Structure 1
Amino acid sequence: MRDASGVLYFPNVKGPDQDDGPRSAAMIDDFTFGRVAVIGDLLLDCYINGSVGRISPEAPVPVLLRAHHSAVPGGAANVAMNAATLGATVLLVGLVGEDESAATLKTALARAPGIELSGLVADPAWTTITKTRVLSGRQQIVRIDEERIETPPAATRAHLISAARAAIDAADIVICSDYAKGVLSDDVLAAIMDAARARGVPVIVDPKRPEFSAYRGAFLVTPNRSEIAVATGLPVRNDAEAEAAAHAASEQCGGNVLVTRSEEGMTLYRRDGHVTHARAHKSEVYDVSGAGDTVVATVAAMLSAGQDLETAVVIATTAASIVVGKLGTTTVSRHELGAALLSKMKETATTVPLDRARSIVNDWRQHGARIAFTNGCFDLLHPGHIALLRAAARQGDKLIVALNSDASVKRLKGAERPLQDAQARATVIGALRDVDLVVIFDEDTPLETIMALRPDVIVKGADYREDEVVGGAFVQSYGGAVVLADLVSGRSTTSIVRKIRQAAPDALPC
């Protein structure tokens, strides 16, 4: 909620001099994050993207016309990326081979600020685990795994234990990311718990074992519905069953339990018996890959910033709703998360100032998104507007709509316009599924906004010539494009206003 000055209040966020007093004002952009040790199974997630237009004559399988290939950190490495992207310093410990996938993984991790890689253990006999997904658009066709699941040899485990102890000595919080690939063996896990207990550092475990007693000593265990159902033998179909299963899991591991329940949100069961249900935020789910990584990384980062567990879980719920709307293994930035949290306090969930929009767009671009842009007054939304927005959305992975401010509309359209103020217009535009971000500009043209956001493509109606599109030459100067979309004939706000005035002369101001 907000006070009269517009300051955002998070539930249960305590100030530095508060215990159980009034809730304090806090902005996620101002959080100071600590050092998070991430220990676990490292993966490399590869994506081969293309388009399918025919079936092979050799067999009844689709033929993919390959467009591009990408590789991103997965598993514990994705947890590290998520925590670092939020602003935490990450000490990563895991096992890689001496192969091409290991080199690719290290290169990808090295590009992320705040991740220390001195804890990576290389074993020439180990195969760096790689998962390759083949996709046509947003549809996954097949996944190819390269892995050899076995417990590392004793000498390698000793190196892992040494690296884990060094990371824990420097950490404020520890994450054990268990993908059941061999790194978190019994002796390694026991050494982690002993070292953390000796220093009083809390441990969060993302579990994969069929039973949770090996995680005894953890502060928090974060199973999903299927994992906790297997571990406890109990169903998890509603709140009451989630509470019962979480209680049983807590008896096994001795710690707090956070059950991630997909579209139903999360259930936090504390050792003292207190239960919190954090409801999921509605989102267009494209891909749940790595959503659990985002949750555990966000909770750890928030705890490292001094927030309490309930607040960390509420914020992590928002982070999860963002990441499932993205394609593939990815992260949520502090700017994206801050904008989403702020959106709960606003009428429109997608309108942000230009400086915040620039940060969000940069984060999208770092994850390979193609940015589309269009602009207009959008005073009374009509089928022509919808056709333009849909055409613009098809040109990229993310669509930004720049809206003329009220003053800008008056200068362009006359004193009687706009019929709806900027916030109302932004609310309507932002509610459309094709629109990812709305920015309001006060100038006569969106050139300043375009120069700040540097979209990959500008989309305007076909009533323009390419050389008339504001910002078109600028976008083309760095390799971008201008696309002119077909218009829906006879549709405009002006014509609608004219018809209303003809039917009811007193309905609108002259």
Structure 2
Amino acid sequence: MISDFIFGRVLIIGDLLLDCYIHGSVDRISPEAPVPVLLRAKHSTVPGGAANVAMNAAALGCTVDLVGLVGQDSSAREFRKAIGRQPNIDPGHLVEDADWVTITKTRVLSGRQQIVRIDEEPSVVIPAAVQERLIAAALAAMERADVIVCSDYAKGVLSDGVLQAVIRAANQRGIPVVIDPKRRDLTAYKGAQLITPNRKELAAATGLPVGSDTEIHFAALAAQEQFGGDVLVTRSEEGMTLLERNGRMTHAHVPKSEVFDVSGAGDTVVATLAGMISARADLRTAMVIATNAASIVVGKLGTATVSRAELSAALKSKIDRDGVIATLPQAQAMIEAWRQHGARVVFTNGCFDLLHPGHIALIQAAAREGDKLIVALNSDASVRRLKGEERPLQDERARAIVMGALRDVDLVVIFEEDTPYETICALRPDIIVKGADYTEDEVVGGDIVKSYGGRVVLADLVSGRSTTSIVSKMKTAPQADTPSGP
């Protein structure tokens, strides 16, 4: 699970904010004007903007270098104090300027209801000399970075010059760059590997509608043409959509959760993506995990983070709900975690319509070949194509639950194709096990596994046992006499 990933070092550069919260209760209306009177109870501050990305990445277990601009005011001192609560963040690359006003957003709340927000921010363009200091700080921190995040809140830190210098230097060093964009023209982000616009930002940048999956697809293609990398679109309650440079489109549905506050959810997403990339996870796996992180953070009030323990528990709970049933991206994440502990991953597949002793023998034989066993099940549609319209006798969910209940099975995935070839390519097991009624050359995916040093094992079968033969016997068995009426 997420607790087993080894996260790297993330460099985050962007607009730094201080989020302040004034909490209290409202019991009356002011006699001076028709406005509520808040009886103040407490005041709290947390880092916001790019600093919230840093807090989220650090909470997951990343080591973070933070680059941004603060003033020499009381808000800057409060900001440094707030950042200092997270030991995984190195604030040594912050740039301080006496003429800059530290950006502050103050929210006044009664219970969970926000009454008003008060913003304080400079109205000046960052001078060229300060931009050069920002570039120098980013280049210094880049020397040990595994991934770079540019968190653009359109407050001036990520100017054309800063962006170009950071992206150019990252490309020279082979460091992936993730952009949380705010610009209408995405060409400024050329050279980055990934951008993460929400629907509103994607529509503004492309001028295209973004209501349906199809519209999202075309808008993401248009965005891709502007900057040349992968596009991950965050879609609130509809989850996320990833368009990779190879043209592959993947959707991830967000787990249901009670939504209290969406502020900062995008920061959690980009931080989780960066953390997973630093741990060498693929983008599809990173996206699935990021959707789960987002579903947790929107259930919290205000600018918040998701801890490694919270995310691990949520992912485990999601898989454990149905035993060990997982989507393909979840399975990829699980396998990556297993391999970090040296586990050998075994794979077998089938329809497994009516579980019988022959199936059990195959599962037990497969489990003996390695440390973790994945069973891939044909979907209902796949079974019908292979076995006929009368099959399967049990739907895919029922078959998966039964299979997942077996002690030797560590993970169950369902595939839609006629063969598990694509699933094997995605999961890259170390060993494939099939029955001895196959030859090694006939085993689907065997060539793939052997190409990277894996092997194919043919297990002995229990003679006379198959679902087809059981069904045939049921059909030909004599019917019991129906008792006649009085």
Aligned counterpart for 2:31 among listed residues 25, 35, 57 = 57
What is the CA–CA distance in structure 2 between the aligned matches of 1:71 and 1:347, rounded to whole Å?
Answer: 37
What is the CA–CA distance in structure 1 between the aligned matches of 2:319 and 2:200, rounded to whole Å?
Answer: 33
1:142 aligns with 2:116: yes
TM-score, normalised via structure 2 length: 0.66
Partner of 1:427: none
Aligned counterpart for 2:160 among listed residues 186, 195, 220 = 186
Partner of 2:314: 340
1:166 aligns with 2:140: yes
Partner of 1:240: 214
Partner of 1:230: 204
1:33 aligns with 2:7: yes
Other structure's SS at 1:317 match:
helix
Task: Name the amino acid aligned to 1:227.
Answer: E
1:333 deviates by 0.2
Equivalence map 1:183-332=2 (5 Å)? 183-332=157-306
Task: Name the amino acid aligned to 1:220.
Answer: L
Q: 1:34-57 CA deviation, whole Å, 9 max, x = no partner?
A: 000000000000000001111111
TM-score, normalised via structure 1 length: 0.63
What is the CA–CA distance in structure 2 between the aligned matches of 1:195 and 1:167, rounded to whole Å?
Answer: 11
What is the CA–CA distance in structure 2 between the aligned matches of 1:219 and 1:348, rounded to whole Å?
Answer: 36
Partner of 1:98: 72
1:154 deviates by 1.3
1:172 deviates by 0.3
What is the CA–CA distance in structure 2 between the aligned matches of 1:347 and 1:32, rounded to whole Å?
Answer: 26
Partner of 1:133: 107
What is the CA–CA distance in structure 2 between the aligned matches of 1:149 and 1:287, rounded to whole Å?
Answer: 28
Task: Name the amino acid aligned to 1:278.
Answer: A
Further displaced range: 256-265 or 340-349: 340-349
What is the CA–CA distance in structure 1 between the aligned matches of 2:162 and 2:102, rounded to whole Å?
Answer: 19
Task: Name the amino acid aligned to 2:32.
Answer: E
Instruction: State the percentage of identical aligned residues.
Output: 68
Aligned counterpart for 1:117 among listed residues 86, 91, 98 = 91
Other structure's SS at 2:217 match:
helix
What is the CA–CA distance in structure 1 between the aligned matches of 2:23 and 2:217, rounded to whole Å?
Answer: 41
Contact 1:295 1:319 in 2 (8 A): yes
How many residues align structurally? 323
Other structure's SS at 2:44 match:
strand
**Structure 2: where are the runs of 5+ without partners?**
324-486
Other structure's SS at 1:36 match:
strand
Partner of 2:54: 80
Equivalence map 1:405-416=2 (5 Å)? none
Partner of 1:367: none
Contact 1:150 1:181 in 2 (8 A): no
Q: 1:176-207 CA deviation, whole Å, 9 max, x = no partner?
A: 00000000001001000111011010000000
Equivalence map 1:41-52=2 (5 Å)? 41-52=15-26
What is the CA–CA distance in structure 2 between the aligned matches of 1:100 and 1:239, rounded to whole Å?
Answer: 46
Q: 1:400-420 CA deviation, whole Å, 9 max, x = no partner?
A: xxxxxxxxxxxxxxxxxxxxx
What is the CA–CA distance in structure 2 between the aligned matches of 1:144 and 1:80, rounded to whole Å?
Answer: 23
1:346 deviates by 2.3
What is the CA–CA distance in structure 2 between the aligned matches of 1:233 and 1:299, rounded to whole Å?
Answer: 26
Task: Name the amino acid aligned to 1:202.
Answer: P
What is the CA–CA distance in structure 1 between the aligned matches of 2:124 and 2:252, rounded to whole Å?
Answer: 37
Other structure's SS at 2:237 match:
helix
What is the CA–CA distance in structure 1 between the aligned matches of 2:193 and 2:145, rounded to whole Å?
Answer: 15
1:148 deviates by 1.2
1:342 deviates by 0.5
Q: Select the structure of larger CA radius of gyration.
A: 2
Contact 1:44 1:130 in 2 (8 A): yes
Q: 1:192-229 CA deviation, whole Å, 9 max, x = no partner?
A: 01110110100000001112110001100000010000
CA 1:63–1:348 in 2, change beyond 3 Å: closer, same or farther? Answer: farther
Other structure's SS at 1:118 match:
coil
1:348 deviates by 9.2
Other structure's SS at 1:90 match:
strand
Contact 1:151 1:183 in 2 (8 A): no
1:345 deviates by 1.6
Other structure's SS at 1:345 match:
helix
What is the CA–CA distance in structure 2 between the aligned matches of 1:282 and 1:211, rounded to whole Å?
Answer: 33
What is the CA–CA distance in structure 1 between the aligned matches of 2:316 and 2:239, rounded to whole Å?
Answer: 19
Task: Name the amino acid aligned to 1:137.
Answer: G
CA 1:334–1:274 in 2, change beyond 3 Å: closer, same or farther? Answer: same
What is the CA–CA distance in structure 2 between the aligned matches of 1:347 and 1:244, rounded to whole Å?
Answer: 35
What is the CA–CA distance in structure 2 between the aligned matches of 1:312 and 1:62, rounded to whole Å?
Answer: 44
What is the CA–CA distance in structure 2 between the aligned matches of 1:29 and 1:59, rounded to whole Å?
Answer: 53
Contact 1:259 1:268 in 2 (8 A): yes
Task: Name the amino acid aligned to 1:109.
Answer: I
Further displaced range: 146-155 or 127-136: 146-155
Partner of 1:487: none
Contact 1:225 1:236 in 2 (8 A): yes
